[in-house]
Amino acid sequence: MSKTDNREIRVAIAGLGNVAAAIVMGIEYYKNVKQEEKYQAGLINASVGGYLPSDIKIVAAFDIATTKIGKDISEAIYAEPNMCHPIILPENMPKSNALCYPGPISDGCYQTKDSKGKIIFDTYNYFKAYNEKDVKPSNITQVLLDNKAQILVNLLPVGSYQASRIYAQAALDANCALINGIPEFIVSEQVEGDRDWVAEFIKKGLPCAGDDIKSQVGATIIHRTLAKLFLDRGVIVNDTYQLNIGGNGDFYNMKSEERLTTKRKSKTSAVTSVLPYGDKVGCRIGPSDYVPFLGDKKICYIRINGTTFGGLPLVCDMKLRVEDSPNSAGLIIDLIRQTRLAIDRGIVGRLDSISSFSFKHPHIQPSSDFEAKKWVQEYIEGKRER
């Protein structure tokens, strides 16, 4: 039987953190959604070309935290330091019969050197990574093949340059499509000195989408929409900031400015690209602090300082408060089904419509998100190839 003979969409996840936990719980939460139920709180599409959330099966996951590896995914998603709001309580989550495997550690967490200059993995007690002397990292390609995975979703921590590429290679070797949820530029552009990953996915006859998930109603989409509003209504944006604080693992990891370069680029370009004079705008965007007691709640402050009629000032201040991880899970549940449509239709390489709509750093940055939404609809209906 070929991998795509039935409706089941077989997905593997690299990084079983809070976003992954929200996806797994969300599949259970929306398991009874029907084709005709159009307006479901939290889902952009109940049905994507006939595929429902219940068609998604998470068949394997990879992580490096000792609390998660070796466990059934249904159990591992609740293990520390995960803290995603329990949309489904642990006692109501059915066993998945799919495992969380130890992935290669690589640069998935901070690295420091010991007194002899040897690299050691350091998680600063936020969580404990397995010891490579005691645990052998699994062969990712083999796990993907053994579990007949069709799609690999990358949800590693920001700054995982090498690790993301190890998983992308494994996806290629195991004939899996790739959804790259993090700000590593693999699908959207070819980084200097890096391989042309999109060409490799094309060569293998596989689709890919990315990079860096844009949440459903999150800081990026609100900031973009407001900036576009200023543009369309004739108000010049002089400077703008977007400050984000949160208390989850993602925010903890992003305390390190070195790991953040691509995240800042991805978030900043998502906003400045809306304005034709974007390179002249004073702009500061990014994660601003880790506030442990906020847990998975994220708070975002946006200010846009503009000049309007008669050279007068116009300032917009906005505050968003949201559960962080579930805010991107709904989009990923759509992306998985949209990517499966590409597999069904034999479409290979970068999926531009869904990348432009669902990622902060796509290859084609749309000037309007409403336009990108139209492209996705046309793609789902088969009126647009990619």
Q: Which helix (H) or strand (E) holds 301?
A: strand 297-308
CB of 1 to ligand NAD, least distance (A): 29
Q: What DSSP line would sit under 284-296, residue for residue?
A: EEEEEEE-GGGTT
Judged by beta carbon, residue 16 or residue 227, the one nearer ligand NAD is 16
CB of 291 to ligand NAD, least distance (A): 15
Where do the H-state alpha helices sit in the chain?
18-29, 73-76, 140-146, 161-173, 197-203, 219-232, 249-253, 261-272, 326-345, 352-358, 369-380
Judged by beta carbon, residue 10 or residue 259, the one nearer ligand NAD is 259
Question: 354 and 379 in contact (C-beta within 8 Å)?
Answer: yes
Judged by beta carbon, residue 69 or residue 347, the one nearer ligand NAD is 69
* Rounded-to-integer distance, Cα 269 and Cα 241, Å: 13
Judged by beta carbon, residue 212 or residue 352, the one nearer ligand NAD is 212
Q: Which helix (H) or strand (E) holds 81?
A: none
Place of tokens 């990574």: 129
Judged by beta carbon, residue 15 or residue 366, the one nearer ligand NAD is 15
* Rounded-to-integer distance, Cα 208 and Cα 192, Å: 20
Place of tokens 């599409």: 45
CB of 122 to ligand NAD, least distance (A): 12
Judged by beta carbon, residue 15 or residue 306, the one nearer ligand NAD is 15
Q: What are phi and psi of 44, to 5 degrees?
A: -70, -40
Judged by beta carbon, residue 68 or residue 148, the one nearer ligand NAD is 68
CB of 276 to ligand NAD, least distance (A): 26
CB of 212 to ligand NAD, least distance (A): 6
Q: Which two tokens stand for residue 42?
A: 């939290």
Place of tokens 């949820």: 181
Question: 168 and 162 in contact (C-beta within 8 Å)?
Answer: no
Judged by beta carbon, residue 123 or residue 353, the one nearer ligand NAD is 123
* Rounded-to-integer distance, Cα 316 and Cα 321, Å: 17
What is the sign of the dihedral through the CA atoms of 77, 78, 82 and 85?
A: positive
* Rounded-to-integer distance, Cα 53 and Cα 191, Å: 34
Nearest-CB residue for ligand NAD: 17
Judged by beta carbon, residue 183 or residue 349, the one nearer ligand NAD is 183
Binding site for ligand NAD (CB under 6 A): 14-20, 62-65, 103-106, 108-109, 155-158, 163, 181-182, 212-213, 215, 248-250, 253, 324-325, 327-328
* Rounded-to-integer distance, Cα 303 and Cα 199, Å: 40
CB of 143 to ligand NAD, least distance (A): 12
CB of 100 to ligand NAD, least distance (A): 9
CB of 28 to ligand NAD, least distance (A): 18
Amino acid at 27: I
CB of 303 to ligand NAD, least distance (A): 21
